[in-house]
Structure 1
Amino acid sequence: MINIKDNLDKIKAQIAQACQQNNRLVDSVLLLAVSKTKPIEDIEQAYVAGQHHFGENYLQEALQKIEQLSHLPEIYWHYIGPIQSNKTKQIANNFSWVHSVDREKIALRLNDHLKESINEKQSHLTPLNICLQVNISEEKTKSGISPEQIFALADVVNQCENLTLRGLMAIPEKNARPEIYQKMAKLFIELRSRYESIDTLSLGMSNDLSLAVKHGSTMVRIGTAIFGQRNNK
Structure 2
Amino acid sequence: MSVLRDRIAAVQARIARACDAADRDPDSVELLPVSKRQPLALIEEAAALGFARFGENYVQEGAGKAAARPDLAFTLIGPLQRNKAKAALQAFAELQTVDRADLAERLGRIAEELDVRRGIWIQMDLWNEATKVGGCGEAELPALLNAVQAAPRLDLKGLMAIPPPTEPQAFVQLAHLRDELQQRLGKPLRLSMGMSGDLEAAIAAGSDQVRIGTAFFGERN
User: Is TM > 0.5 for Structure 1 vs Structure 2?
Assistant: yes
Deviation at 1:147, TM superposition (A): 2.5
Which of 98, 101, 108 is the aligned partner of 1:111? 108
Q: Which residue of 1 aligns with 2:203?
A: 213
Distance in 2, matches of 1:211 and 1:112, equals: 38
Q: Which residue of 2 aligns with 1:136?
A: 126
Distance in 2, matches of 1:148 and 1:214, equals: 27
Once the two structures are superposed, what CA deviation does each residue of 1:150-188 show, in whole Å capped at 9, x if it has no partner? 2331232122100011111100112531x2221111101
8 Å Cα contact 2:100/2:140 also seen in 1: no
Q: CA RMSD in A?
A: 1.6
SS in 2 for 1:206: coil
Give yes or no for the alignment of 1:161 onto 2:161.
no
User: Percent identity over the alignment?
Assistant: 38
Deviation at 1:42, TM superposition (A): 0.5
8 Å Cα contact 2:4/2:46 also seen in 1: yes
Give yes or no for the alignment of 1:170 onto 2:161.
yes
SS in 2 for 1:6: helix
Q: Kindly report which structure 2 residues correspond to 1:122-133, keeping only aligned pairs within 5 A, or say none.
A: 125-126=116-117, 128-133=118-123
Distance in 2, matches of 1:197 and 1:94, equals: 27
Structure 1: 5+ residue stretches without partners: 119-124
Q: Which residue of 2 aligns with 1:121?
A: none
Once the two structures are superposed, what CA deviation does each residue of 1:198-223 show, in whole Å capped at 9, x if it has no partner? 32111000111010001111010000
Q: Kindly report which structure 2 residues correspond to 1:189-204, keeping only aligned pairs within 5 A, or say none.
A: 189-204=179-194
- Against the structure 1 CA distance between its residues 197 and 92, is the aligned structure 2 distance closer, same or farther, given a 3 Å change threshold? farther
Distance in 2, matches of 1:53 and 1:197, equals: 23
Q: After TM superposition, where is structure 1 displaced by more than 4 Å over at least 4 residues in a row? A: none
TM-score (normalised: structure 2): 0.94
Q: Return the letter of the residue paired with 1:135.
A: D
SS in 2 for 1:44: helix
Once the two structures are superposed, what CA deviation does each residue of 1:84-139 show, in whole Å capped at 9, x if it has no partner? 11100011122111110011111111111111122xxxxxx31x111111123222
Structure 2: 5+ residue stretches without partners: none
Distance in 2, matches of 1:153 and 1:92, equals: 18
SS in 1 for 2:108: helix
Which of 106-115 and 209-218 deviates more? 106-115
Distance in 2, matches of 1:87 and 1:31, equals: 27
Q: Which residue of 2 aligns with 1:57?
A: 57
Q: Return the letter of the residue paired with 1:88.
A: A
Give yes or no for the alignment of 1:92 onto 2:89.
yes
Aligned length: 220
